[in-house]
Amino acid sequence: MCGIVAVIGSREAAPLLLEGLRQLEYRGYDSAGIATVNGERQLSCLRAEGKLVNLTQRFEAQGAVGQCGIGHTRWATHGKPEERNAHPHLDGPGRVAVVQNGIIENYRTLREELQAEGVVFCSETDTEVIPHLLSRELGRLVAAGGKPSGALLLEAVQAVLPRLHGAYALAVVWAELPGALVVARKAAPLLIGLGEGEFLCASDTPALAGFTRTILRWKTAKWHCSPPGDRALRRSW
């Protein structure tokens, strides 16, 4: 069963993500990965096949800087248990990263639509359609005069969600916006944790328990959060 961890706050995200993923190992998995965004608008994505120790070693060797990030443990459903099928998945330019737990039932239709527009896919997964759809929507919004902001990223996610059929939980980061994280769920578990100067989310309580005692079980489809002090914090209940 796949697991999601995401965090945004004042501490380096990668160690928190890795620890959160360790707490989700009981769910079973065949690969793992993390993505972080730093203040220089650089997105780092590390993925590894097999046990979490392989991803940890990759992080120790290559690093992944940033106070905003997402992580994932994957149990193969669409595609073999290979590194290219591990999450996070990226858009073509490598600016949008997504992790997802669940199933996108209409991914083949969406994949064919995107391929007809020239999009090249790197994996066999259903999840990879999401960053490509988000990238297209963000491009449309920016071309229409929108400026990178938490509100813009949230608007893009809101536009894409109705096109995704199935049950899912997902988390999104965008390199253009180091101070924002968007998560969404539909008929799949995702919990919100409020820590000291940070927001976290995860597929199950153990991944949050070491960081906060304030855990919200929410029923909404969308959550956008930015670090404390940013007035772009939004939630829909």
Instruction: For residues 183-188, give the mean pLDDT.
Output: 92
Residues 6+ apart with CB under 8 A from 7: 13, 16, 17, 20, 68, 69, 181, 198, 199, 200, 201
Task: State pTM to two decimals.
Answer: 0.90
Asked if 169 and 4 touch (Cβ cutoff 8 Å), the reply is yes
Domains of the chain: 3-235 (3.60.20.10)
Asked if 33 and 173 touch (Cβ cutoff 8 Å), the reply is no
Q: Kindly tell me if the per-residue pLDDT of 226 is higher than 90.
A: no
Instruction: For residues 107-122, give the mean pLDDT.
Output: 97
pLDDT at position 79, please?
Answer: 60
Instruction: For residues 119-143, give the mean pLDDT.
Output: 97
Q: Kindly tell me if the per-residue pLDDT of 5 is higher than 70.
A: yes
Q: Kindly tell me if the per-residue pLDDT of 223 is higher than 80.
A: no
Q: Kindly tell me if the per-residue pLDDT of 173 is higher than 70.
A: yes
What percentage of the chain carries pLDDT values higher than 70? Answer: 88
* Residue of 19, 36, 210, 21 whose CA lies nearest to 101: 21
Q: How far is CA 98 from CA 49, 132, 184, in A?
A: 18, 10, 11
pLDDT class of 172 with cuts at 50, 70, 90: very high
Rounded (5°) CA angle 64-233-24: 45
Rounded (5°) CA angle 98-104-106: 130
- The per-residue pLDDT of the chain, averaged, comes to 88
